[in-house]
């Protein structure tokens, strides 16, 4: 792992913070058991700090710039992070929030889904070949996969005893109305008076905004009588 460290991080050793009386292009190294830190002054008054778990010595590369090997490797590979951010930004689940654990969860989820897409395309290169929106289709499948078993389970009732009884009455009434020997194939459901408080008719919808105080005895929905 190789990356930069921000100036406001309190974990930085004080020996790496100062730039006074330090010559330009001068590095300083600090080591722990498994980590290396380097402070580099690219120009007067500016200090760049990097951390690496790969490099174990203070090797310097180049006769002209005299840059540490840590910085050279970071400059070579940092484009992958920028490209990853660009790709993740196109389709992301991140939402505005003040809870930092949720921010970390959103970032990890976006990165994990993109990594899964890369692995999937490596294993199935012919999947939707010729389609420009293969990643969008993959995200749709990822979103549907966790809820598909629940949708299939809810296709079969009873869900609860009350809802099962209502569903059974609806099916019985619908069968009697459609297969009855006489009368029209469909009949208006009976209505029963509800409370005195009027509510919007659930059959007409919100655009009509028709109020009623009657409830259908079959489906228990608010329904007007005209």
Specify the pLDDT at position 185: 43
pLDDT digits (tens, 9 = 90+) for 131-143: 888 999 999 999 9
Specify the pLDDT at position 177: 54
Specify the pLDDT at position 18: 79
At 167, phi and psi to the nearest 5? -60, -40
Q: Which residues of the chain have pLDDT under 70?
A: 62-65, 155-160, 175-196, 205, 217-218, 220-226
Domain boundaries, the chain: 2-77, 81-144, 188-226
Specify the pLDDT at position 114: 93
Specify the pLDDT at position 102: 94
């Amino acid at each position: 792992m190789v990356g930069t460290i921000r100036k406001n991080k309190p974990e930085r050793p004080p020996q790496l913070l100062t730039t006074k009386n330090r010559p330009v292009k001068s590095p300083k190294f600090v080591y722990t058991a498994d980590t290396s830190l380097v402070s580099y002054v690219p120009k007067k008054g500016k200090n760049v700090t990097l951390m690496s778990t790969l490099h174990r010595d203070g090797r310097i590369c180049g006769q002209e710039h005299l840059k540490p090997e840590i910085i050279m490797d970071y400059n070579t590979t940092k484009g992958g992070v920028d490209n990853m951010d660009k790709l993740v930004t196109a389709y992301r689940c991140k939402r505005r929030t003040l809870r930092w654990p949720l921010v970390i969860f959103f970032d990890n989820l976006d990165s994990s889904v993109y990594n899964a897409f890369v692995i999937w395309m490596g294993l199935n290169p012919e999947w939707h070949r010729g389609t420009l929106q293969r990643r969008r289709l993959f995200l749709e499948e990822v979103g549907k996969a966790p809820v598909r078993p629940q949708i299939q389970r809810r296709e079969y009732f009873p869900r609860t005893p009350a809802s099962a009884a209502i569903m059974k009455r609806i099916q019985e009434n619908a069968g009697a109305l459609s297969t009855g020997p006489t009368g029209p194939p469909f009949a208006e459901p009976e209505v029963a008076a509800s409370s005195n408080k009027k509510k919007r008719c659930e059959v007409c919808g919100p655009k009509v905004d028709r109020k009623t105080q009657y409830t259908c005895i079959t489906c228990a929905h608010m329904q007007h009588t005209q």
